[in-house]
Structure 1
Amino acid sequence: MAQDYHHGIRVVEINKGTRPIRTVATAVIGLVATAPNAAAGVAASRLIDFAAVNSGVTYTAATPGTDGNAIRVRYVDPGSASATLGVTVSGSDITVSLATDIDSAITSTAAEVASAVNAETEANALVTATEEGDGSGVVNATGFQNLTGGEDEPFPLDTPVLLTDPLGAQGDAGEEGTLARSLKAISDQAKTLVVVVRVAEGETDEETKTNVIGGVDGTTGKKTGLQALLSAEQTFGVKPRILGAPELDDADVTGALIGVAQKLRGFVYASAGDSATKEDAAMYRENFGAREVMVIWPAFTGWDTATSSTRTLSAVARAMGLRAKLDNEFGWHKTLSNRPVEGVSGISKDVFWDLQDPATDAGYLNSHEVTTLIQRGGYRFWGSRTCSIDPLFAFENYTRSAQVIADTIAEAHLWAVDLPMHPSLVKDIIEGINAKFREWIRRGYLLGGSAWFDAELNTPEVLKAGKLYIDYDYTPVPPLENLMFQQRITDRYLVDFADRVAAA
């Protein structure tokens, strides 16, 4: 308790009132891909040499990466006669105690030092030593010298990597696998944050699928495959919300992605597998019943600079990039449908579409909750439906609105947890939520929304237990999916025809 008596002035801060609520970041892509020839890490190294010819030794870190830059090597003059050459290790420090003759002069050559370091188990676990030339030159004592130049592997397997420039990262992705093509597709649409998880390409499709789906390493506890997306927020402070595994997403992979999406409050864009026809695509969509996934068929085509030829291009990768672009430029309340897609020049299958006729290939696919591709003023996605059987979440933007609102409201109130639950605190929470709803409504993200305190639900027993229920509702903005004009022919404009002639 604060001291009651004080001769002077005290200031007591009273931090009450509503807090501003920041909408969670939505344009963060979670990409799972393969890249067999992605750039490797660079091992740190250091050349320690002297004026004497052939007296140099190059030390190279045993493991590539920036950790090698912490390794240090030094040569020590023992300051005594007839000392023997010895190597000791302390952490990442390697100390070489040089040999001397009966006059206490150093006699160790570069070749002898390199051999001694490589023979010492702990030292050899850190570095490999290579003498310069024949190594016959005698070395001198020197202080600690750090290895330098170590660089981490840009896309280590089963490890989330945050990219702020997906276009610039293509150079490290190599030309094989799906990673480079996916990054190109995304960057064609938008510059956005991308969390990449690279998985190993197996010798068979089944082995690759296992690597993509991943799991948890039984020895280290590390999440692997697409499960590694779950650790991105703790590592980078961003949560992937636009998920996909372009060119790798069969029904099994998509099912696993949906499970991850539900944990992240994310949304999956998935291809219709190997569907050859629109009927196959419609049947493929029946594999899923989740609100967190949109099935897309067919694929795009376009020029591939890696092969200098036209090839099939993933529609999923472009959907992910376009979704991020819409989130940044328009809002999460706008569906993917009917927006131009960049970087493509064709569609892989013939899809008949007519703006005014529902009896088309596109109409059939949309009626079966499959988003398709059309060409009208550029190439576009056509369709806004999820795989949910619940009409409340039939549209892509309905699901994403629910996700964004839930995370925004929850994440914004960490400050309130464990504070004394006075009525003023409850009022501040409610007023803060309503202020956010007013902002969303003004910006067109929602049609309406409000929060309130339910006295019947918050009984004295509930409140005494430290629980508080705040209710809120909202109305998402429906996409204009079916615009109907009613056209009538009439003769009522002929009634005053004679008068109009006379007036003319």
Structure 2
Amino acid sequence: MAFFHGIEITEVSDGIRPVETVRSAVIGVVGTAPGASAASFPLDTPVLLPGHPRLAADLGTTGTLPDAVEGIFSQAGAFVVVIRVAEGADTAATLANIIGSEVAGTGIHALPLAGSVTGVVPRILIAPGFTSARAGGTANPAAAALQGVAAKLRAVAVIDAPNTTDAAAITYAGDWGSARLFVVDPHVLVFDQATATNVPRPASPRVAGLMARVDGENGFWYSPSNHIINGIVGTDRPIEFNLSNPNNAANLLNEKRVAVIVRREGWRLWGNRTTSADAQWSFLPVRRTADMVYESLEAAMLWAMARPFSRQLLLDVQETVQTYINTLVTRGALLGGKVWIDPSLNSGVELMAGKLTVDLDLEPPAPLESLKIRAHRNNGYYQELVADMAA
């Protein structure tokens, strides 16, 4: 370098980066609100309600969205992305609007645009009032659309079963085999101020709000099962429930991958499982925890892209991921996790092509679902009793 008599400071950008966990409790809801303000809630456009129900006043009082938003906020002050669609001339036309077009980005297919439009990505998806029907004995098309969008967003969709019988709920759940779908039955009863009566409403908004509340109070690695649902006065049909006897309706429905709402010291969500047939991903919080880890790491590693390969770069990438995993283990979100760079997957040819493969193992904690307590008789305590008297 040229002669320099003085002090030079150069910033070096080596070193690990902090990883921030992405928002897990953003809810995306698709529905109708014919009385809404078109300026505040334009059709097929993601609109963010950042944590307060008063912002939903412009939705009006008709359609499915007002109750859905009220149901969500009765559980928690969540971030809610609202997609309003037009009511059709009949039920079929409205359902078509709810599903929307992937090409045009309308209806349910407007949800992937939320990140660009609102700055947040919905992780819990619902379309209350439109996922229950099985027309002609076929799977529900709105639920099918939610399943596809949930896979794109690394989200889960809470879908309502038919709200008729246990058998119908089991048949409904059998239409699906995805870790992205969480089936809930029956509908809940809420007090309607307009009619001064208890009316049935889809459970999905309350369950989505409950998931957001549990995320905030406990963490995304906690199951929403066995938590009280606020603001409901009952269910549209009773679900038989017994903690100590497996021969009851709630247990059968859970076995068939239907979460239910039961009365036990309040009205509780009861059920941990998605519709996945893969045992590795059947638990809802396990699926969501893995999703949050992946999303957070993707967002955090942007800094590394386009940097020249060096030993320091490899160390920084590996240690950044490992430090985040260690943090999650400390918080209880993971049981363990390890990061490594496998030489066999990172040949000179691969590195010359600008490709780096980093391996990661991790294990989200499964929720306790079956607790067995073994009780034993011990007559030796009688001898202790007599010995105590003689002492």
Q: Please say if residues 169 and 185 of structure 2, whose CA atoms lie closer than 8 Å, have aligned partners that are also in contact.
A: yes
Render the CA deviation track for 1:231-278: whole Å, top value 9, x for unaligned.
110112110101001112242101100100110111100011x24211
* TM-score of the pair, normalised by structure 2: 0.95
Partner of 1:397: 285
Rounded Cα–Cα distance in structure 2 between residues aligned with 1:216 and 1:280: 30
Look up the SS of the partner of 1:374 in the other structure: strand
Letter of the aligned partner of 2:144 in structure 1?
Answer: G
Rounded Cα–Cα distance in structure 2 between residues aligned with 1:374 and 1:190: 20
Cα distance, 1:216 vs structure 2: 4.7
Partner of 2:55: 169
Rounded Cα–Cα distance in structure 1 between residues aligned with 2:373 and 2:160: 33
Aligned with residue 479 of structure 1, among 349, 367, 383? 367
Q: Does 1:408 align with 2:290?
A: no
Change (3 A) 1:458 1:216: closer
Partner of 1:199: 85
Rounded Cα–Cα distance in structure 2 between residues aligned with 1:363 and 1:225: 35
Partner of 1:257: 146
Rounded Cα–Cα distance in structure 2 between residues aligned with 1:316 and 1:246: 6
Rounded Cα–Cα distance in structure 2 between residues aligned with 1:156 and 1:300: 29
Aligned with residue 19 of structure 1, among 1, 14, 17? 17
Rounded Cα–Cα distance in structure 1 between residues aligned with 2:315 and 2:194: 60
Q: Please say if residues 163 and 187 of structure 2, whose CA atoms lie closer than 8 Å, have aligned partners that are also in contact.
A: no
Cα distance, 1:453 vs structure 2: 1.1
Cα distance, 1:6 vs structure 2: 4.1
Partner of 1:330: 218
Cα distance, 1:501 vs structure 2: 2.3
Partner of 1:492: 380
Q: Does 1:339 align with 2:221?
A: no
Rounded Cα–Cα distance in structure 2 between residues aligned with 1:420 and 1:492: 73
Structure 1 gap segments, 5+ residues each = 41-152
Aligned with residue 355 of structure 1, among 243, 266, 269? 243
Rounded Cα–Cα distance in structure 2 between residues aligned with 1:448 and 1:423: 26
Rounded Cα–Cα distance in structure 1 between residues aligned with 2:71 and 2:124: 14
Partner of 2:204: 316
Rounded Cα–Cα distance in structure 1 between residues aligned with 2:174 and 2:279: 16
Letter of the aligned partner of 1:224 in structure 2?
Answer: T
Look up the SS of the partner of 1:169 in the other structure: helix
* TM-score of the pair, normalised by structure 1: 0.74
Give the count of matched residue pairs: 383
Change (3 A) 1:377 1:496: closer
Rounded Cα–Cα distance in structure 1 between residues aligned with 2:164 and 2:213: 30
Q: Does 1:5 align with 2:6?
A: no
Look up the SS of the partner of 1:154 in the other structure: coil
Change (3 A) 1:242 1:446: same
Q: Please say if residues 166 and 184 of structure 1, whose CA atoms lie closer than 8 Å, have aligned partners that are also in contact.
A: no
Partner of 2:101: 215
Q: Please say if residues 335 and 384 of structure 1, whose CA atoms lie closer than 8 Å, have aligned partners that are also in contact.
A: yes
Structure having the higher strand fraction is 1
Rounded Cα–Cα distance in structure 1 between residues aligned with 2:246 and 2:149: 35
Partner of 2:107: 225
Cα distance, 1:308 vs structure 2: 2.5
Q: Please say if residues 175 and 306 of structure 1, whose CA atoms lie closer than 8 Å, have aligned partners that are also in contact.
A: no
Rounded Cα–Cα distance in structure 1 between residues aligned with 2:390 and 2:102: 88
Q: How does 1:425-444 map to 2 (within 5 A)?
A: 425-444=313-332
Q: Please say if residues 181 and 275 of structure 2, whose CA atoms lie closer than 8 Å, have aligned partners that are also in contact.
A: yes
Structure 2 gap segments, 5+ residues each = 133-139
Render the CA deviation track for 1:44-71: whole Å, top value 9, x for unaligned.
xxxxxxxxxxxxxxxxxxxxxxxxxxxx
Letter of the aligned partner of 2:47 in structure 1?
Answer: V
Rounded Cα–Cα distance in structure 2 between residues aligned with 1:232 and 1:498: 74
Q: Please say if residues 166 and 186 of structure 1, whose CA atoms lie closer than 8 Å, have aligned partners that are also in contact.
A: no
Partner of 1:148: none
- Deviating 4+ runs (over 4 angstroms): none
Rounded Cα–Cα distance in structure 2 between residues aligned with 1:408 and 1:177: 36
Change (3 A) 1:166 1:12: closer
Partner of 1:238: 120
Cα distance, 1:16 vs structure 2: 0.6
Cα distance, 1:192 vs structure 2: 1.3
Partner of 1:134: none
Look up the SS of the partner of 2:343 in the other structure: coil
Cα distance, 1:355 vs structure 2: 1.1
Render the CA deviation track for 1:366-425: whole Å, top value 9, x for unaligned.
010100011112111000000111111010011101111111111100110010110111
Rounded Cα–Cα distance in structure 2 between residues aligned with 1:242 and 1:7: 59
Q: Does 1:37 align with 2:22?
A: no
Partner of 2:137: none
**Identical aligned residues as a percent:** 36
Q: How does 1:121-132 map to 2 (within 5 A)?
A: none
Partner of 1:270: 159
Letter of the aligned partner of 2:199 in structure 1?
Answer: R
Letter of the aligned partner of 1:374 in structure 2?
Answer: V
Partner of 2:136: none
Rounded Cα–Cα distance in structure 2 between residues aligned with 1:164 and 1:418: 34
Render the CA deviation track for 1:284-308: whole Å, top value 9, x for unaligned.
1011111111000111102012332
Partner of 2:43: 157
Look up the SS of the partner of 2:74 in the other structure: helix
Rounded Cα–Cα distance in structure 2 between residues aligned with 1:166 and 1:202: 29
Structure having the higher helix fraction is 2
Letter of the aligned partner of 1:494 in structure 2?
Answer: Y
Cα distance, 1:502 vs structure 2: 1.6
Bigger radius of gyration, 1 or 2? Answer: 1
